[in-house]
């Protein structure tokens, strides 16, 4: 069995178009024309199916039948990717990125753990404040490290990945308050990390996409300078479990409708779920939020709400670039070592954030 030594992340970075060739996000076609109708029934891409089969083979129990403590011990999609690579005698793509652990002061618990990922080279670098997924109950930034490394190396940006405290031990509004505290701290201290405090974007996957959007809402509402861009990857922004993607993916893997009900039950009380800081799509208006990049996956209960959120943003005058990926499931973004459309999604996200950082630098 041959070993894979060439960095796949280097290949991804090479595929990213130059800043001059990336289309602008303003003045394009209406978002409705950019969004293809969801096909019936969802057909899984072969490489995505291999990951789902590997996840099944790891023998995890249904999350919705477990306590949070038990659920945190179950195998993850990231574990399935590692298993596939091991079976092929391959290694995860190497990234030329260093990392360190820090503790961010502030928030309701006074201290917020985080990991800082810094690309090789001279700064100051632009900065991405990143939030992992897991329904506010599971996982940490290490679980999502493949995504973080791809963004840091591909964009040549510092990524500060926040390990916010988890529910139900620390229920809403702990997570949005910690997210905003981390953002305010970073605006003051990015320079200490060799980062540019004026070029900060927010990003996240699933529940992390929720927190990235909430930071933008909080900054707008509290009259704090906003991030220059938000990258929302299959974001959790609503609790409408009756829409088409919930019905189509009621029994999907790795995320299904029953799991979403379980996450909601552990995160907040029903009345709290009407807050825009719990679910950003509940906001009365999305006007004046930062330019946005939104990615959705077909085999995902959260697909429809991600599409709808992109449309709402555009209707409220926010520049949006949206990309939907057929044949792949929730959590696919970090699977570039084994899933072709994950590489495409990373190229898209890297290009959009590069453009945002470079446009801001050119203006200022």
Catalytic residue ranges? 206, 300, 330
Kindly report the backbone phi and psi dihedral angles of residue 26, in degrees, each rounded to the nearest multiple of 5, phi listed first.
-105, 145
CA distances from residue 345 to 34, 199, 208, 300 in whole angstroms, order as listed = 16, 22, 17, 15
Helix (H) or strand (E) holding 114: strand 111-119
Query: What does DSSP assign to residue 140?
Result: -
Question: Residues 116, 9, 121, CA angle at the centre, nearest 5°?
Answer: 50
Report the first-to-last Cα separation within the chain, whole angstroms: 51
Handedness of CA 359, 7, 102, 114 (dihedral sign): positive
Distance CA 133, CA 142 (A): 11
CA distances from residue 116 to 92, 129, 131, 360, 361 in whole angstroms, order as listed = 20, 9, 12, 23, 22
Distance CA 205, CA 236 (A): 8
Cα–chain center distance at 117: 16
């Amino acid at each position: 069995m041959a070993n894979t030594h060439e960095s796949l992340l280097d290949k991804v970075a090479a595929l990213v178009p130059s800043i001059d060739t990336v289309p602008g996000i303003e003045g394009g076609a209406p978002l409705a024309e950019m969004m293809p109708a969801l096909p019936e029934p969802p057909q899984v891409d072969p490489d995505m199916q291999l990951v789902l089969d590997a996840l099944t083979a790891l023998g995890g129990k249904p999350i919705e039948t477990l306590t949070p403590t038990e659920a945190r011990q179950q195998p993850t999609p990231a574990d399935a990717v590692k298993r596939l690579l091991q079976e092929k005698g391959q290694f995860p793509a190497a990234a030329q990125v260093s990392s360190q652990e820090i503790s961010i002061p502030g928030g309701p618990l006074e201290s917020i753990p985080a990991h800082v990922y810094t690309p090789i080279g001279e700064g100051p670098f632009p900065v991405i404040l990143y939030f992992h997924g897991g329904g506010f109950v599971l996982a940490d930034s290490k679980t999502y490290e493949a995504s973080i490394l791809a963004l840091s190396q591909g964009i040549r940006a510092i990524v500060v990945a926040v390990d916010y405290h988890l529910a139900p031990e620390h229920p809403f509004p702990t997570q949005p308050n910690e997210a905003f505290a981390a953002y305010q701290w970073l605006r003051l201290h990015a320079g200490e990390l060799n980062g540019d405090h004026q070029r900060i974007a927010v990003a996240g996957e699933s529940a992390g996409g929720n927190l990235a959007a909430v930071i933008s809402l909080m900054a707008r509402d509290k009259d704090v300078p906003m991030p220059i861009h938000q990258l929302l990857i299959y974001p959790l922004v609503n609790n409408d479990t009756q829409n088409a993607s919930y019905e189509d993916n009621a029994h999907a893997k790795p995320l299904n409708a029953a799991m979403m009900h379980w996450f909601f039950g552990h995160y907040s009380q029903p009345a709290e779920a009407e807050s825009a800081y719990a679910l950003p799509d509940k906001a009365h208006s999305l006007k004046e939020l930062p330019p946005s990049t939104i990615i959705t996956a077909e085999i995902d209960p959260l697909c429809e709400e991600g599409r709808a959120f992109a449309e709402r943003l555009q209707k409220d005058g926010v520049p949006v670039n949206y990309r939907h990926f057929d044949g792949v499931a929730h959590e696919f973004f970090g699977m570039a070592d084994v899933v072709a459309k994950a590489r495409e999604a990373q190229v898209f996200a890297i290009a959009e954030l590069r453009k945002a950082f470079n446009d801001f630098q050119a203006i200022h």
